[in-house]
Amino acid sequence: MRMTKIVLVLASLALMSGAASAAHVLNSNYHSYASGSGNDLNPCTFLSPCLTLFGAYETTVAGGEVHCSDSGIGTSNMTISKNITIDCAGASAGQWFFVINGANIVVTLRNISIIDFAGGVAVPGIDFQNGAALFVENCAIERFRGDEGVGINFSPASGVAKLHVTNCVIKTNGNASTGGGIYIQPAAGAVADVTIDRTQIQNNRIGIFANGAGTTRGVVRSSVVSGNATWGIGAQGARSSLMIENTNVSGNQVGIVAKNSASVVVSRSSIVFNRTGLSASAGGTLSTYKNNDLNGNTADGVFTATVVQH
């Protein structure tokens, strides 16, 4: 009889353990994990991972981290509405689309391949709608060629929002009529503070485009903007201001554009081998520190102002 009771107790504990391992508890982990061999009914721990990033995200507390244990993680289109870091170092490419939409949230996306393998989905790879800051680090974003085919669409609805893009590759986004690599489009009354550093933006329709009803203050530093079908870097509207520093702008239809009273300042950069190097129109200004290389374009164009170095 005693042995029977022991067996029953052990069996009950095993059942309870199995139930716990299958329980997908929301907002319970500081560190959650996704794996190609996981299941979204799991608790998303290291030993019992989820299959998708979204499954792991759901189990993570605000301010926590989602990690990728291995490759083959399941497809998951995600809306992020809390503070989170998602880091997929060592994982293979995945077909993941991200929407960032939460008041005052800070989101970091690191070591992720964000790819539209079909090449025709009408969404951006990353669509920032609301939040305090977005950090995109060591990511590849490519092949978003649908009607809203943009690698990163940064369109804060209100307040001051920050975008930091570091050491990324953003390529082959946009189609013949719309889209591109990075669009900066703050709503009226909003401010977009943007830094793009050590990033390759290549073979998109437009490389970088600042054009919103709100205010854009952008810096492009130590990057390569090349082979884009229309503009390499463009700013449009009186509230759009860009600083381009130590950047190669080459092989684009037009290298750098300032339109409709936008302001672009260029320092220690090379604008070469474009069909048109520089284009300023409708009150747009292109200013130089007189330390740039502007040559080898079919038509170089001209800077419209000189900034005195101090």
Q: What is the pLDDT of residue 8?
A: 32
Whole-Å CA distances, 8 to 1, 21, 22: 11, 20, 21
Report the distance separating Cα 136 and Cα 47, nearest Å: 28
**Is residue 14 included in any domain, yes or no?**
no
Cα end-to-end span (Å), the chain: 92
163: nearest Cα among 100, 257, 232: 100
Q: What is the pLDDT of residue 74?
A: 74
Residues 53, 189 share a domain:
no
pTM of the predicted protein model: 0.91
Q: What is the residue range of 62's domain? A: 19-68+82-87
Q: What is the pLDDT of residue 309?
A: 77
- pLDDT, averaged per 10 consecutive residues of the chain (310 residues), comes to 32 33 69 93 95 93 94 83 92 74 97 84 93 97 91 98 98 95 98 98 98 97 98 98 98 98 98 98 97 98 92
User: Looking at 35, 55, 87, which one is the last position of a domain?
Assistant: 87
Q: What is the pLDDT of residue 92?
A: 58
**Is residue 10 included in any domain, yes or no?**
no
Residue type present at position 76: S
3-state helix, strand, coil in the chain (%, to 5): 10, 45, 45
Residues 276, 211 share a domain:
yes
**Is residue 7 included in any domain, yes or no?**
no
Q: What is the pLDDT of residue 93?
A: 47
Q: What is the pLDDT of residue 132?
A: 98
**Is residue 173 included in any domain, yes or no?**
yes
